[in-house]
Structure 1
Amino acid sequence: MTALDDGRAGAADRVARSAGLGAEGVVSLPEFRAWFAAAATRARARVARVPLGGLDGWAADAATGDIRHESGRFFSVRGLDVRNPGGATEHWSQPIIDQPEIGVLGILVKEFDGVWHLLMQAKTEPGNVNGLQLSPTVQATRSNYTGVHRGRAVPYIEYFLDPPPERVVADSLQSEQGSWFLRKHNRNMVVEAPDEPVPVLEDFCWLTLGQVHALLAEDDVVNMDARTVLSCLPFHGGDPDAGARHSTTGVLSRITAARARTDIAAAPVPLASVQRWHRSGAGELHHESGRFFRVVGVDVATQGREVRRWSQPMIEPCGRGLTALLVKDIGGTPHALLHARTEPGFREGVELGPTLQCTPANYPDRAAHRPRFLDAVAGAAAGRVRFDTVQSEEGGRFYHARTRNVVLEVDDASAPDDDPDYVWLSLPQIDALLRHSHYLNIQARSLVACLRSRPAG
């Protein structure tokens, strides 16, 4: 075993010990709930819908229609022209969020009584359906932590900007939603704190991984940014190919082949030129079919953020999403079925997504191109469902975006090995891919975090 492998195995052992404590840690779950309720009282926010033309500090460019902030920073809403020969839809245009800067999503870990604890933050986002949710230690764009917003400093950011290599548990660039963001990715980090005490600020709390796993089973508690970082924790330290249906080399070849055969071309265009999208009387941008999503404006006032008052555009989906991961034992080794997905905002064109990822309202019962496995998941027997919870998407850019996350156990070869768009991966192989960038999309990573929270078997 190499020194690197030995380090991964050691980290995986410490993750496993922390995951095994589901009730007691530095604080108990009842103590956490009292703290969280108090944080919710402190962080109450007022979020009001306003017309896009009435956003303070934002304006539509006279030539392009693109919606930009007066500072030239943060993000913009642009148009995107997409051509995908051979796809279910071969050509379309749409609004999309362009946020080129790389943010930091980081969880600080520290050992108490021999068990790793995670420093989690109670954070309010304007798009959260319930306001306050549990987020990583740091959840900040570059504009946030470099002070462009002129607000308070981002707490604990110093642990993540230049950490000693020996304290880095996980560090990779991971994509955001490829249908709503243009080539957006964030740095997902887990860093071990130094030996000296770490001051715990009012809206932060040390929890074991087992306690966070317990909270994942509840609707709209653990936010999307926390889930993606949790998915990057090392759970397996041994040979990822042991007991796997396919070798990791073969899996990487499949991903490369999918990227090579995908001919998607996504080019930014003026927002004013996107076809079949219109401004409504309420000052929102919507598709003429009433499906997909709307671009809306909000005005926000809160006590618990670096900035206490601001306006911004947001994406509001038209319907609740559904993602599902089919899992089964193959030769005694747990596997999950991943789908090679093409989305216009991906940097690499293709990433592995869940078995199923869709908005069911967009697909009537007899619709053409109805997603594979949609009916199987909708009609699944209750005894096969390992996980089923509604989780919020990123509340800083998406308004009331919620997705039902399902892990479904199956006992047959639901996708043949000769289907190039689907592949069975063992859980250690998924863990190995998540050490690197741009292999699993945000929906798959969220489901991996949920799957790991369930007892085996």
Structure 2
Amino acid sequence: MERFWAWFAERSERVTHHTERIPLDALDGWRRAEGSGNIAHRTGKFFTIEGLHVHIPGAPVPRWSQPILNQPEVGILGILVKEIDGVLHCLMQAKFEPGNCNGLQLSPTVQATRSNYMRVHQGKAVPYLDYFRNTAGNRVVADVLQSEQGAWFYQKRNRNMIVEVRDEVPLADDFHWLTFGQLHQLLGVANLINMDARTVLACLPFAASGPHPLADVPAVADDFHRSVVRSCSAAEGSLHPTVDIVSWITGIRAQTDVHTRAAPLNRLSHWYQKDGVISHASGLFFDVMAVDVAAGSREVAGWSQPMIEPRGQGVAAFVVRRIDGVLHVLAHARIEPGYVDVVEIAPTVQCTPQSRRVLPSGARPPFLDTVLQAPREQIRYAVSLSEEGGRFFHAVNRYLIVEADIDVEGSPDFRWVTLHQLTELLRHSHYLNVQARTLVACLHSLSLRSPSAPVAARP
């Protein structure tokens, strides 16, 4: 870890970057469509910011309008892995994104939209891309399409990949080999491992069908730790069979109507442009703003772009409970307008608390108080982590794992599931949302160490 921190500090000093807020009307290379005001790149690639009308009959808020990112391209998020001295290592990148709250963060080996890797911007080629576009001769460990934030993206998907290579891999300056154990320790450091790396790590087929690697290790002495380890193995059982969990999600999808319709960005109810920013009349939710960027380590040295900036820090929490000695997670079947398939499994609680004050009481997450008022001893994991810095400006969620003995009888939108069931569902597209995938990665990190063990804190 000392070697990693020395390398990361050196990259942080050498990689020059600067992000400056600018008015939306000062964007270079972007245009506002006549009539609608939608924002698009002059090439017609990358993404657009459009308006969306939403109607969900029977929901606490049945109708609303909002800006939304439309990026129909499927990008590649890929981690290259290689056995070094008998230990599997991941090739990670120190990457600057304009929305990062702290400059560099650890990203996957490849994190690129189709426009980027097709070099629409006429910039440099994406390093290591060929390992993921042509996997012949290497072993594909994971390869699955997954969604991104369904509240801010319209049907956005990325290809999440883990590819094991056996040949020597040349090491570029911005890249470093880390073990899975090191990465799971580093998940406990605020705003270090970026969202794209977390979603790929969650897709690792982590002991879903057999015993966990630590199942028989004497060091697994803590009862909570042991329950996490047991939760990783299908052999330990679960409250509900996996087929019932799939049927639960399928049933909600079949019974839920979500109607979305494109709308002009400049004619959305309660949204206004003032001082170069598009904001909600309440001053809550999020803004559409713009930045001008200089980055010496990226494929192009400078550009400008629109971004979404949330108002307030979010909370994403799994409430967990031990059932017959096996840790179970309280999963929420969540509807968001940008999902490809209507409903995905989300954290028990996922919201921006300060935005709740302008919404009806029925929109308040059922277990929000359980999470926000949890005693210290019930908080098993807590860390603030950034969301995707390429599209969202300073978007940070507080990720929590809270142990509580709560009753969900009569709550049709919630089910207790084990970690091995979540891992199994992650082999398929559109079952777990991006916030739940981060929490799965955090749970895996708990299985690899005692909850009382220190994380690899930054010096």
TM-score, normalised with respect to structure 2: 0.90
| Aligned with 1:161 (options 129, 133, 137) | 133
- Displacement of 1:162 after TM fit? 2.1
User: Residue 345 of structure 1 aligns with which residue?
Assistant: 338
For 2:108 and 2:298, the matched residues in 1 are separated by 14
User: Counterparts of 2:60 and 2:5 in 1: how far apart (Å)?
Assistant: 46
Matched, 1:219 2:190: yes
Runs ≥4 residues deviating over 6 A: none
Q: How does 1:234-253 map to 2 (within 5 A)?
A: 234-238=205-209, 240=234, 242-253=236-247
| CA apart distance, 1:298 | 0.3
Look up the SS of the partner of 2:3 in the other structure.
Answer: helix
Q: Which residue of structure 1 aligns with residue 414 of structure 2?
A: 422
Contact 2:314 2:351 in 1 (8 A): yes
Q: Are the aligned partners of 1:325 and 1:356 in contact in 2 as well (CA < 8 Å)? A: yes
Q: Does 1:106 align with 2:78?
A: yes
* Aligned residues of 1:107 and 1:120 also touching (Cα < 8 A): yes
Q: Does 1:445 align with 2:417?
A: no
- Give CA deviations for 1:341-374 in whole Å, capped at 9, x if unaligned: 0000000010000000000111249962322111
- Matching of residue 54 in structure 1 with residue 48 in structure 2: no
Q: Give 5+ residue unaligned stretches, structure 2.
A: 211-233, 452-459
After superposition, the C-alpha distances for 1:288-324 in whole angstroms (9 at most, x for unaligned) are 0111000001000111100110000000000000010
Going from structure 1 to structure 2, the CA distance change for 1:420 and 1:165 (only over 3 Å counts) comes to: farther
Q: Distance in 1 between matches of 2:137 and 2:184?
A: 27
Q: How many residues align?
A: 425
Partner of 2:355: 362
Q: Name structure 1 gaps, 5 residues minimum.
A: 1-28
**Counterpart secondary structure, 1:256:** helix
Quote the residue 2:176 is aligned against: 205
SS at match of 1:380: coil
TM-score calculated relative to the size of structure 1: 0.91
Shift in Å at residue 241 of structure 1? 7.0
- Any idea what the Cα deviations from partners look like across 1:66-98, whole Å, max 9, x if unmatched? 001101100000000000111111111100000
Pick from 401, 404, 409: which aligns with 2:403?
A: 409
Distance 1:73 1:438 in 2: 24
Question: Within the alignment, does 1:334 sit opposite 2:305 as a pair?
Answer: no
What letter matches 2:330 in structure 1? L
Partner of 1:38: 10
Structure 1 partner of 2:52: 80
Q: Structure 1 residue 264: deviation in Å?
A: 1.1
Asked if residue 390 in structure 1 is aligned to residue 361 in structure 2, the reply is no
- 1:127 shift after superposition: 0.2
Return the letter of the residue paired with 1:286. S
Aligned partners of 2:320 and 2:407: how far apart in 1?
10
Contact 1:241 1:428 in 2 (8 A): no
8 Å Cα contact 2:288/2:306 also seen in 1: yes
Whether the 8 Å contact between 1:320 and 1:403 is mirrored in structure 2 is: yes
**Partner residue of 2:290?**
297
Q: Supply the distance in 1 between the matched residues of 2:357 and 2:314 (Cα, whole angstroms).
A: 14
Q: Distance in 1 between matches of 2:182 and 2:407?
A: 33
Query: Which residue of structure 2 lines up, in the alignment, with residue 143 of structure 1?
Result: 115
1:365 and 1:153 map into 2 onto residues whose CA distance is 46
Q: Does the 8 Å CA contact 1:243/1:331 hold for their aligned counterparts?
A: no
Is it true that 1:322 corresponds to 2:315 in the alignment? Answer: yes
Query: Could you tell me whether the CA contact under 8 Å between 1:241 and 1:247 is conserved in 2?
Result: no
User: What RMSD in Å do the two structures reach over aligned CA positions?
Assistant: 1.4
Partner deviation per Cα, 1:55-76 (whole Å, 9 max, x = no partner): 0001110121100110110000
2:184 aligned counterpart, secondary structure = helix
Contact 1:241-1:429 within 8 A present in 2 as well: no
Q: What corresponds to 1:380 in structure 2?
A: 374
